[in-house]
Amino acid sequence: MAEEATLTVVGQAANGAEAVALAVNLRPDVILMDLVMPELDGIQATRRIRQAGLPCQILVLTSFADDQKVREAIEAGAIGYLLKDVLKADLFRAIHTAAQGKPALHPEAQSYLMRQVSAPPPQTSPTHLTERELDVLRLIAQGQSNKEIATTLHLTEGTVKGYVSAILAKLGVADRTQAALHAVKHGLAGSNR
């Protein structure tokens, strides 16, 4: 196979930390990265290689096809995601594709990314919040603590905590900062009525 002859293996790492060190020293065009390695997993190693500013492309080659791993690998900076059952010819093609800066994805990884793109966003419309939840959200966006919100709205701090939890769940966000950003984006950060 012609493509095979153009590939040169310049290094092989036994763990994630060694993979990062070899990448820095050898500066390969493409790195085949396993996700499960001792000392440092493939996601962390990928992230560190990206943070080092190396120009190499990272192609994940793993046994794991779950959505979470695909997302984490791509977010960490991998250009491709392949499963270890890939045919030899497809692997060589993917390495060449990655070297050109083009993504190479296993069909299951492609399906996951397509679902992410086509899925409706989490409930982010402010209309899903009750009036009281909107009041609490406005105050979160103004930087008030739960204690301050409780004082402003004449509620107990425990009640405010309940409202905050409900708001985070309804908006599909992880923390108060994201909720505040949502409020600003939807014009809800103004003063309370």
Residue 86 to residue 167: CA distance in whole angstroms: 44
As a whole number, mean pLDDT of residues 153-160 equals 90
Give span(s): CATH 3.40.50.2300, the chain. Answer: 2-118
* pLDDT band (50, 70, 90) for residue 92: very high
Q: Does 20 have pLDDT greater than 90?
A: yes
Instruction: State the pLDDT confidence band at 18, using cuts at 50, 70 and 90.
Output: very high
Helices (H), 27-87: 42-51, 67-76
Rama region for 99: left / alpha / beta (φ>0; ψ in -120 to 50; rest)? alpha
Strands 30-33 and 80-83: unpaired
pLDDT of residue 153: 92
Where does CATH 1.10.10.10 sit in the chain? 126-185
Task: With H, G, I as helix, E, B as strand and everything else as coil, classify residue 52.
Answer: coil
193: pLDDT strictly greater than 50:
no
In this prediction, what percent of the chain has a pLDDT beyond 70?
A: 89
* Whole-structure pTM value: 0.58
* pLDDT value, residue 187: 76
At position 147, the amino acid (one-letter code) is K
Nearest Cα neighbor of 60 from 41, 127, 129, 144 is 41
User: Given 3.90.1530.10, 3.40.630.40, 3.20.20.20, 1.10.10.10, which CATH number is that of 126-185?
Assistant: 1.10.10.10
Give CATH superfamily name and number for 2-118. Response regulator (3.40.50.2300)
Is 5 a residue whose pLDDT tops 60?
no
